[in-house]
Structure 1
Amino acid sequence: MPTPPEWLTDYAKDEWYTQTAELEALRILSTMDLSMLAMYCQQVGIFRQAQEEMKREGNELVVTTPNGALQPNPLLGIANKAADLALKIAGQFGFTPSARTRIGTPVKEEEDPLAELLNRRS
């Protein structure tokens, strides 16, 4: 299992471990993809961090500027941009349901105890 780049945030490293485990299990993890995977993980980390910051600030979608004007919370813009970039990269890896159908990613089969019993009887 490849180790995450040191420059990834803690949230991004969490995503790295999750995704590398899945990609490894599917046997589609390649060293050629690690830089792109790191970019994906970093965007997910940025999204999570922006969401946490908004939560700490009271989940305000609109904030008041120093001159009294209302504006969208800048953290919302950061989260939306990171989500958009992560989604674009995710499609390249087959991390979305529609992307998996396009690239033919194998689907993990769940064990079916009933099917196992029926196969034994045959």
Structure 2
Amino acid sequence: MTGTRGPLPKPPALRMLEGNAGRRSLDLTAGVNPRIEIPSPPKHLGQEARKEWKRITPLLEELGLISGLDRTALALYCQAAGRLSELETAFNGQVARLVADGSDYSDAVYKASYAVTPSGYAQQSVIVQLIGKHREQVNRYLMHFGLSPAARGRVQASNYVQPSLPGMDPQPTAKPGFAMFAVPS
């Protein structure tokens, strides 16, 4: 993941509480804490992607790492993970067919992984190229949701609580819909 080297920056609220030693202006509006909820899965997800959606969403909810805002990003992850599963199954099927035809396992894996060009060179098969691309995509999406060991320290769970800082008045609670225009009695 590019641009994520070094220590995590301190949240602006913590820097303010510590006295803002750098004297730089603080953006106290940073740090959105959306409501933790599982969004509905999109209808276009394939069978394997739906299985991944059902597997991962309760875990993300338990960790406080999912909200209704994450529907599209989660759908992209699940679709990539589903396609990767389908590609791996297809590759394993090719290897199994080659083993059934009399090849030993290592030769079968090589034959399924490479094709010989008309000029005699071994070229990586399309399915192996697709598996590699989908592995990279899945890994990238895992990083966004903090689902890899390296990414866990870089995500922050939503606690759905906006921090109150000294010297700042709390935001007035607005009534939903047209009730906000009602005259108080």
TM tier, shorter chain? 0.7 to 0.9
Identity %: 27
How far does the alpha carbon of each residue in 1:39-86 deviate from its partner, in whole angstroms, 9 at most, with x for none? 001111111111111111114111345x47532121111111111011
Does residue 1:82 correspond to 2:119, yes or no? no
The size of the alignment, in residue pairs, is 105
Please tell me the residue identity of whatever aligns with 1:32: L
Q: State the partner residue of 1:52.
A: 89
Please tell me the residue identity of whatever aligns with 2:56: Q
Show the 5 A alignment for 1:40-119: 40-58=77-95, 59=109, 60-64=112-116, 67=118, 69=120, 70-104=122-156
Q: Aligned partners of 1:11 and 1:71: how far apart in 2?
A: 29
Instruction: Tell me, yes or no, if the aligned pair for 2:41 and 2:75 is still in contact at 8 Å.
Output: yes
How far does the alpha carbon of each residue in 1:1-38 deviate from its partner, in whole angstroms, 9 at most, with x for none? 43321211111111111111101112332111110000
Note the C-alpha offset of 1:99: 0.4
Q: Aligned partners of 1:68 and 1:8: how far apart in 2?
A: 41
Q: Structure 2: give runs of 5+ residues left out of the alignment.
A: 1-37, 96-108, 158-185
Query: In structure 2, the residue corresponding to 1:8 is in which secondary structure?
Result: coil
Note the C-alpha offset of 1:89: 1.4
Q: Aligned partners of 2:119 and 2:84: how far apart in 1?
A: 27
Q: CA RMSD in A?
A: 2.0
Normalized per residue, which structure has more helix?
A: 1
Please tell me the residue identity of whatever aligns with 1:33: D
Structure 1's consecutive aligned runs of 4 or more residues displaced over 6 angstroms after TM superposition are: none
Please tell me the residue identity of whatever aligns with 1:95: L
Query: In structure 2, the residue corresponding to 1:97 is in which secondary structure?
Result: coil
The structure having more radius of gyration, on CA atoms, is 2
Query: In structure 2, the residue corresponding to 1:57 is in which secondary structure?
Result: helix
Q: Aligned partners of 1:3 and 1:104: how far apart in 2?
A: 22
TM-score, reference length from structure 2: 0.51
TM-score, reference length from structure 1: 0.75
Note the C-alpha offset of 1:90: 1.1
